[in-house]
Amino acid sequence: MKYVFPDNFWWGSASSAPQTEGETLSFGKSATIWDQWFKEQPTRFHNGVGPADTSTFYKNWKQDIALLKELNHNTFRTSISWARLLPEGRGAVNQQAVTFYNQVIDELLAQGIKPFINLFHFDMPMAMQQEGGWENRDVVTAYAEFANVCFELFGDRVKHWFTFNEPVVPVEGGYLYDFHYPNVVDFKRAATVAYHTMIAHSLAVKAYHERNDGGEIGIILNLTPSYPRSQNPADVKAANIADLMFNRSFLDPALRGEYPQELVELLKEHGQLPACQPGDKELLAAGVVDLLGINYYQPRRIKCRDSLVNPDSPFMPEWFFEAYEMPGRKMNPYRGWEIYEQGIYDILTNLRENYGNPNCYISENGMGVENEQRFDENGQIQDDYRIDFVSDHLKWLHKGISEGSNCLGYHMWTFIDNWSWCNAYKNRYGFVSLNLETQQRSIKKSGEWYKATAAENGFNDRT
């Protein structure tokens, strides 16, 4: 069977400034929370590899964009480093950064690749974190100023903007589960960070819309469907609460301009609501996006709790549910994630049926594999497992589109093997293999497959 996608479908990949640029404390850039955390606790990072050791995009941007062109990308997402553009978080602009980002944007356009530019990818400038980060409304204001600087400098050429990538992750990692800096475990503070993030988002959306630059602005959410263990009411209720906490806490403000009342009541009941200010309601309503980016990697399997909550433990989402390991699930054993291709279709169906079928695209989907060099044959990684992963997800994406979902494209995570937070290079995700010692790039078998798929705007079933 041949799977053909709509005309002008976006074929591309995604990356981020902190994971690719390198030169993390050079050319005028100041430290982010990642630089600081690596300085404080290098052992938290796989093999002691920190944020300075990325895929050197700052130096090799022209070569990398040529590879994007070779892979038939018509779109590419990356981010602008707040700490590079505004080293103090606000105020003076770093002209070296302006030159760099202008070169990248101009070269992408010259190669026929539309730049999709994201403004925040987990990389809070340390100057802003020292003021409280997202807990401080002054930092929210500073982010809005940063967004405006970006629109002013690059908005004549960039027509696809995104305010945040996976905004729930800094909330989970930094303020609930201790896997991102500042390693706080406090639900109320986490709720404040989440709320202020969406206030910051709304300020940027409102400002962009007021400019009338002829483009569109959105947000990128990692939507993880919550599937109950069974249809027992207790399991269904548990899965619904997980969905409220991890998906709808960002999806509803982004698409409806307001929070789910059910979530508000739940947090209110437990004394966990963040503080609001006059005008916030109207501001959130102005933050409805033009385009939704969807990052999908795995489902969330949920069951009701089998035990009572320890009343002396910190208030956590898991007071209301437990993770469920479904027997027989297909796994990526290297990342420890379930592979469930239908989830991508279920997300699109939910958006079509419950959110007015917004314009959207798959902004990330990918498979990380450890020690990929064992699949090297004659200088090329034979990653058939990645081709199967992508094609199986694209089949379900195709089904969603055929049923009317307004999904405009598919971006793989990622273009080139890159640094991945505390995991560093433990798992490789790229279409292009990176030799860390020589920085040599070589296209994997999956890259050749994707190149052909983009050229043909579709693919033939491999089975």
Amino acid identity for residue 407 in this structure:
C
Q: Which two tokens stand for residue 226?
A: 């919550």
For 210, other C-beta atoms within 10 Å of its C-beta total 11
Q: How far apart are CA 232 and CA 302, in angstroms?
A: 12
- In this structure, is the dihedral angle defined by the CA atoms of residues 130, 203, 87 and 177, taken in order, positive or negative? positive
Residue recorded with tokens 């994707």: 450
Rg of the chain over all Cα atoms, to the nearest angstrom: 21
- In this structure, is the dihedral angle defined by the CA atoms of residues 24, 51, 446 and 223, taken in order, positive or negative? negative
Q: How far apart are CA 397 and CA 391, in angstroms?
A: 10
For 389, other C-beta atoms within 10 Å of its C-beta total 20
> Mutual orientation of helices 187-211 and 168-175 as an angle, nearest 10°?
150
Catalytic one of 107, 172, 341, 364: 364
Residue 54 phi/psi, 5-degree rounding, is -105, -165
Instruction: Specify whether 364 is catalytic.
Output: yes
Q: How far apart are CA 155 and CA 149, in angstroms?
A: 9
Q: Find, among 364, 362, 83, 118, the residue nearest to 219 by Cα.
A: 118
Please, which residues have CB within 8 angstroms of residue 53's CB and are 6 or more apart in sequence? 22, 419, 424, 436
Is beta strand 458-460 parallel, antiparallel or unpaired with respect to 2-4? antiparallel
Q: How far apart are CA 50 and CA 28, in angstroms?
A: 19
Q: How far apart are CA 89 and CA 222, in angstroms?
A: 26
Which of the residues are catalytic? 364
